[in-house]
Chains A and B, each alone.
Chain A
Amino acid sequence: MATTVTEPALRRIGRLERIWAEPRGVLGWLTTTDHKRIGLLYLFTSLAFFGAGGIEALLMRTQLSEPNAKVLSPETYDQLMTMHGVTMIFLFVIPMTTGAFGNYLVPLMIGARDMAFPRMNALSYWLFLASGLFMYASVFMHSAPNAGWFDYVPLALKEFNPGHNIDFYALGLIFNGIASTATAINLIVTTFKLRAPGMSMNRMPLFCFAILAVSLSLIFALPSLTIDLVFLELQRNLGFHFFDVANGGDPLLWQHLFWLFGHPEVYIIILPAFGIATSIIPTFSKRKMIAFPLVALAELLVAFIGFGVWAHHMFATGLSTITLVFFSAASMMVVIPSTIQVFAWTVTVALGRPEFKAPLLFIGAFITFFVLGGLTGIMFAAIPFDQATTDTYFVVAHFHFIIFGAAVFPILGGFFYWFPKVTGRMYHEGAAVVAFWLTALGTALTFFPMHILGLLGMPRRVYTYPSSLGWGAYNLSETIGAFILTAGLLLIVGNLVWSRFRGVTAPPDPWHGGTLEWATSSPPPPYNFPVIPVVRSAYPNWDREDREADAGRLERGELVLDEGHETSTTTVVDAVPAEVVEMPGESLWPLVVALCTGLLFVMLLTRHYAVAGIFAALTLLAVGAWHLKEPEEL
């Protein structure tokens, strides 16, 4: 930042170092409220679940590689298939995008020193970890959820599924939903209130817009899943009637409530990918995103339309024609904001001076896969086509192009893009390009033949198929593709681990990025910025004069906030400075609360309701103890 750092500036930085220091060692990690450390915890935890979900996928692909294979029993296959879906969606993509990327990057991009509610941020992480461990305990007890990630009734009802399998699913996802809701509230208030002075809404980075859209979607989508799961548990364990016709219930009620959550969920998965793309593209094209306000609005519009299309998952369930037509038309509408964004991404690259380093290559593959998956998506919006291909591998092909090709490739590109910022080291570019081609070709080889298999009539969710149908060759190529893809992913991990220790030292801004995370050192200090930046455009790091003005303020001691554990808040729309707020620091209570909540869910699972009540009371007491320490007393 500053070219010459003077004595008073150094003294101020020293004070900030002392104020924001956290305990060392394991205790530091258990009590941390630093959004960057919590982001890293989220990163490693969700990567571990990604590994588990990946192993489940490879086992399934091995079973399907030839007709009549006997690698997995049908029961095991059902459990692996369900856990693969649940893991990838709830334990990998959401925590990875909101928890890891959102947590680490949003405060840095908006020039804040932490999230709006630092201790609740820690609570979100511990709840997420506990809910993941809770669900994975089922795998070791051989009673993992087995009715698909969509968990349709009546299959999921007690009569047909008497074990604990579905209870693990229902309670685990209610538990997980609490963590996601807390994260979403935190991210919304952070983007509303903690933006740097001058960063009015129209200057907020597009990545933050995407995270805001995701968080709003979570806030309004998760309740219908939660309620659906509560109904299911009440019916399974206390004899309520919501889903059985004999007593006035309706099995379709489950599907309506599930997809009322489930479709916004698809956009919750894909929107952070849009956000990452809009971060990487301008940097490597060396120009601002074209149509910036339109792209921001398109991100919010995708999230909004996502709430009006749920019944297109139910075209084959016998809904009335008028309902089908409405949802078909609404689904077609998603094309408009999606096309705006594809246009903006490609034209920004075309008008810029693109430099095809690994992050931009991943974004290129992302756009390709998104267009391919999007085109089959439009086909499904057409009712007759959907009714002909529903429950076939064509659907599996479509949604894997979207939620693997389009959602995960920007995450991989983002790993490389922000690796220098997080670690202070450069990754190995050559190995990254090789890994890119392995993963991209592996993805195409794994998922493209599924279109053909679907059109040939291969149903989804089957554990094997007879040899007489001639599906063996396609399935074998998919399995080979899956292993190539895995090799590419392992090469990425290897590259990043090696570079973490052996890579070249990275400067604060190796790519000449436009957003504020590149304005601070690599890795950022615990207080993020020595001085709160003042912003006048959407790409503040390209405004050299403003950043030099920041350095001047550090000299004079303006907006340094070195009198306490503080950050500044601004007004919601115009980002006029409002006040300086004291931020809470490290605390062990979030972990204790998560532990009590975890035990509460274990007791609900084992139906010890009285003991569950005790843990509910302990949870409340721990929440009270947490709030005994008020920020101004720290």
Chain B
Amino acid sequence: MSAVARSEQPPLARPNGWWGMAIFVATEATLFGTIIGTYFYLRFNNLHWPPPGVPEPKLTLPLLLTGILVATSVPMQFAASAAAKGRLSAARAALLLAVVVQAGYLGMQLHLFVHDVHEFPPSGSAYSSAYFTMLGGHDLHVGLGILLNLWLLLRTSTGLTTYRMNAIRATTFYWHFINILALCVVGTQISPRA
């Protein structure tokens, strides 16, 4: 986070900010592990999952959207390595591309979320409670990631510092995590179809 390299040699160890993000991601992963664990705990406690009257989860659109979100790991990684080489405008362009796609994803997700809430509200059953908590939790994390990317774009408009370079690196790490999480979440979401 606060690393300022004094020498010309590449640093021997990853910056403190990277480690901070890695441990934060570890606790977040546990959080989602608990939510997904709860989903299956409740599933195996119920005879009908989803319960009668609740439609089976859709397959195509969630998988397609997840694929698009996961693809943003590529421009994010590109932004991190471009920033490490000091190529500021390339890094900013990659960040911008990523954040546009991510915002589009979040918009679609929220639209589907609201649609589903009208169809089978969370107060209807344990199934819908677990379903909306899991999806809402993930959307919240995507939203946070978008805010981080917008912040990086804002801050790098006045140039690149080691501090900002480390921030891009840590945020990229966070996005890889969000994207892996998206796969776990969508897998759980469509699991009743399996």
Min C-beta distance of B164 to chain A, whole Å: 8
Other-chain residue from A226, A569, A624 in contact with B151 (beta carbon distance below 8 A): A624
Nearest A residue (CB) for B5: A579
Chain A positions within 8 Å of B61 at CB level: none
CB pair B34–A223 under 8 Å, yes or no, is yes
Cross-chain contact of A631 among B2, B125, B126 (Cβ < 8 A): B2
**Cβ A189 vs Cβ B42 within 8 A:** no
Residue pair B41, A250 in contact (C-beta under 8 Å):
yes
Asked whether, in the complex, the Cβ of B42 is within 8 Å of the Cβ of A248, the reply is yes
Which B residues lie within 8 Å of A240 (CB)? 122-123, 129, 132-133
Whether the Cβ atoms of A117 and B20 lie closer than 8 Å is yes
CA distance A577 to B13 in the complex (A): 9
In this complex, the member of B38, B51, B133 whose beta carbon has the largest number of chain A beta carbons within 10 angstroms is B38
Which of A116, A231, A577, A630 is B133 in contact with, Cβ under 8 Å?
A231
Which residues of A sit under 8 angstroms from B23, Cβ to Cβ? 184-185, 188-189, 219
Shortest beta-carbon distance, B66 to chain A, in Å? 22
Query: Is A581 part of the contact surface with B, judged by Cβ < 8 Å?
Result: yes
Indicate whether B191 reaches chain A with its CB closer than 8 angstroms: no
Interface residue A620 (Cβ < 8 Å from any Cβ of B): yes
- Determine whether A239 belongs to the interface, using a CB cutoff of 8 Å to chain B: yes
Q: Mark B7-51, 1 if CB is under 8 A from A, else 0.
A: 100011100100110011011101101110010011001100001
Contacts of A220 in B (CB 8 A): 26-27, 30
Q: Which of B109-157 contact A (CB under 8 A)?
A: 122-127, 129-130, 132-133, 147, 151, 155
With a cutoff of 8 Å between Cβ atoms, the chain B residues found around residue A193 in the complex are: 13, 16, 19
Quick one: given A241-B129, A579-B11, are A569 and B30 in contact (CB under 8 Å)?
Answer: no
Knowing A227-B38, A631-B163, A632-B163, the reply to whether A248 touches B125 (Cβ < 8 A) is: yes
Whether B161 pairs with A581 at a CB distance below 8 angstroms is no
On whether the beta carbons of B26 and A116 are closer than 8 Å, the reply is: no
Interface residues of A in 582-634 (CB under 8 A from B): 582-584, 620, 624, 627, 630-632
> Chain B contacts of A116 at CB under 8 A?
1, 16, 19-20
Contact, CB under 8 Å: B127 / A248: yes
Closest chain-A Cβ to B161's Cβ sits at a distance in Å of 6
Which of chain A's residues 531-585 have a Cβ closer than 8 Å to chain B?
569-572, 576-584
When C-beta atoms are compared, the residue in chain B nearest to A571 turns out to be: B13
- A185 with B20: CB separation less than 8 A: yes
The answer to whether the Cβ of A500 comes within 8 Å of any Cβ in the partner chain is: no
Say which residue of B2, B125, B133, B162 sits within 8 Å of A247 (CB atoms): B125
Least CB distance from B148 to A in Å reads 10
- How far does the alpha carbon of A599 sit from the alpha carbon of B181 in the complex, in Å? 31
Q: Is residue B100 within 8 Å, beta carbon to beta carbon, of the partner chain?
A: no
* B6→A580 contact, CB < 8 A: yes
Size bin of chain A's contact surface: 35 or more
Which residue from A186, A242, A583 sits with its C-beta under 8 Å from B129? A242
Whether A27 is near chain B, meaning CB under 8 Å from some CB there, is no
Q: Nearest Cβ in chain A — how far from B135, in angstroms?
A: 13
Closest approach, in angstroms, between the C-beta of A180 and any C-beta of chain B?
10
- For the complex formed, measure the closest distance between the CB of B177 and the CB atoms of chain A, giving whole angstroms: 14
- Does B2 contact A572, Cβ atoms closer than 8 Å? no
B34 touches A584 (CB 8 A): no
Q: Which residue of A lies closest to B51 (CB)?
A: A248
Closest residue to B6 on the A side, CB-wise? Answer: A580
- Chain B CB within 10 Å, residue with most, of A186, A239, A582, A630: A630
- Docked complex Cα distance between A249 and B151 (Å): 40
Q: Is B94 an interface residue (CB 8 A)?
A: no
* CB-contacts of A220-240 with B (<8 A): 220, 222-224, 226-227, 230-231, 234-235, 238-240
State the majority secondary structure of interface residues on A: helix
Asked whether B125 lies within 8 Å of A226 as measured between CB atoms, the reply is no
State whether the Cβ of A489 lies closer than 8 Å to any Cβ in chain B: no
What chain B residues lie within 8 Å of A222 (beta carbons)? 27
| Residues of the B chain whose Cβ atoms lie less than 8 Å from the Cβ of A577 | 12
On chain B, the residues within 8 Å of A631 by CB distance are 2, 4, 163
| A193 to B122 Cα, complex, angstroms | 45
CB of A192 within 8 Å of the partner chain:
yes
Interface residues of A in 243-290 (CB under 8 A from B): 247-250, 253, 256-257, 260
A630/B163 in contact, CB under 8 A: yes
Q: A239-B122, A570-B13 are contacts. A189–B26 as well, Cβ < 8 Å? A: no
A569, B3: Cβ atoms closer than 8 Å: yes
Q: Please, which residues of chain B bring their CB within 8 A of the CB of A189? A: 16, 19-20, 23
| Chain A residue contacts of B147, Cβ below 8 A | 620
Bound together, the chains give a CA A322 to CA B124 distance in angstroms of 34
With contacts A188-B23, A238-B122, A578-B13 taken as known, whether A223 is within 8 angstroms of B5 at the C-beta atoms is: no
Q: What distance in Å separates the Cβ of B47 from its nearest Cβ neighbour in chain A?
A: 9
Q: B residues bordering A, Cβ < 8 Å?
A: 1-7, 11-13, 16, 19-20, 23-24, 26-28, 30-31, 33-35, 38, 41-42, 45-46, 51, 122-127, 129-130, 132-133, 147, 151, 155, 161-164
Sampled A-B contacts (19; CB under 8 Å): A117-B2, A120-B20, A223-B30, A223-B31, A224-B30, A231-B133, A242-B38, A242-B129, A249-B126, A249-B129, A250-B45, A253-B38, A253-B42, A579-B6, A579-B7, A581-B2, A582-B4, A584-B2, A624-B151
The 3 A-B pairs of least Cβ separation, nearest first, read A248-B126, A239-B123, A223-B31
- Tell me the A residues contacting B by CB distance below 8 Å: 116-117, 120, 181, 184-186, 188-189, 192-193, 219-220, 222-224, 226-227, 230-231, 234-235, 238-242, 247-250, 253, 256-257, 260, 569-572, 576-584, 620, 624, 627, 630-632
Q: A224-B30, A248-B126, A579-B6 are in contact. List 18 more A-B contacts (CB 8 A).
A: A116-B16, A193-B13, A193-B19, A220-B27, A227-B35, A227-B38, A234-B133, A242-B42, A242-B130, A247-B125, A257-B38, A576-B12, A577-B12, A578-B11, A579-B13, A581-B2, A630-B164, A631-B4
